[in-house]
Amino acid sequence: MAFRISIELSERDLRHFRRALGQARDAVRIADDEEILSAAKDLAASLRSSKLPDFVTERFGKLETLLQMLTDADWRLGRKERGPVLAALAYLCDPEDLIPDSIPGIGLLDDAIMIELVFHELRHEIEAFEDFARLRKALARGAAARRSGSRPDPRLERRRVQLVERMHRRRAKDRRGGR
């Protein structure tokens, strides 16, 4: 039997989480990117091998997407876009965040909420990356069928540039309140 609990976070609640994310962003400014990425990869591996509540497992799958966005050599996120993703990863890797991760049952609840918040706030970046990954996969299938060699398809880079521009336009529109 499944049991559903819905929690509506008010603007005040969201400010609380954004403040915690802001503190993580401050910490990221003095941390090494590779150190954060290494800790996040270790966390993802640890979570994959753990028996976690489903509400946590569903959200931590999104952690993999954030890691892929940062480490994809073809995608190359700029510093401005990398900052919020690194901050989110830094927050998730901190075992002593809003709710200490060691508390059984609820210790990862704040992390699950933070993932949802970050995914909402970075939705344009994530959509662009996922579109890019789908195109790359389709182009790779086509290249394999044609056996065209090892050169990267120039369409992929053109599309990456278009997707980054789309991401920036959508982000700017959100900032102006034109959702």
Q: Domain boundary at 121, 155, 170, which?
A: 121
Is position 73 within any domain? yes
Closest residue by Cα to residue 155 from 172, 138, 167? 138
Q: pLDDT at residue 119 above 90?
A: no
Q: Domain boundary at 83, 100, 121, which?
A: 121
| Residue 10: strand, helix, or coil | coil
Q: How far apart are CA 71 and CA 136, in angstroms?
A: 15
Amino acid of residue 87:
A
Same domain, 103 and 21: yes
Same domain, 148 and 77: no
Domain count, the chain: 2
Query: And the tokens for 159?
Result: 């599309």
Same domain, 115 and 152: no
pTM for this prediction: 0.75
Same domain, 67 and 153: no
Tell me the CA distances in angstroms from 160 to 58, 66, 122, 125, one per residue in order: 28, 17, 17, 12
Q: Containing H/E element for 135?
A: helix 123-146
Same domain, 108 and 147: no
- pLDDT of 130 reads 94
Is position 131 within any domain? yes
Tell me the CA distances in angstroms from 93 to 90, 99, 112, 173, one per residue in order: 5, 12, 12, 31
Q: Domain boundary at 92, 121, 150, which?
A: 121
Q: How does the average pLDDT of the chain come out, rounded?
A: 83
Same domain, 57 and 107: yes
Same domain, 108 and 129: no
- pLDDT of 6 reads 81
Q: pLDDT at residue 55 above 80?
A: no
What is the span of the domain harbouring residue 153? Answer: 123-179
Is position 98 within any domain? yes
- pLDDT of 72 reads 93
Q: pLDDT at residue 52 above 60?
A: yes
Tens digits of residue pLDDT in 134-169:
999 988 877 665 555 556 678 899 999 999 999 999
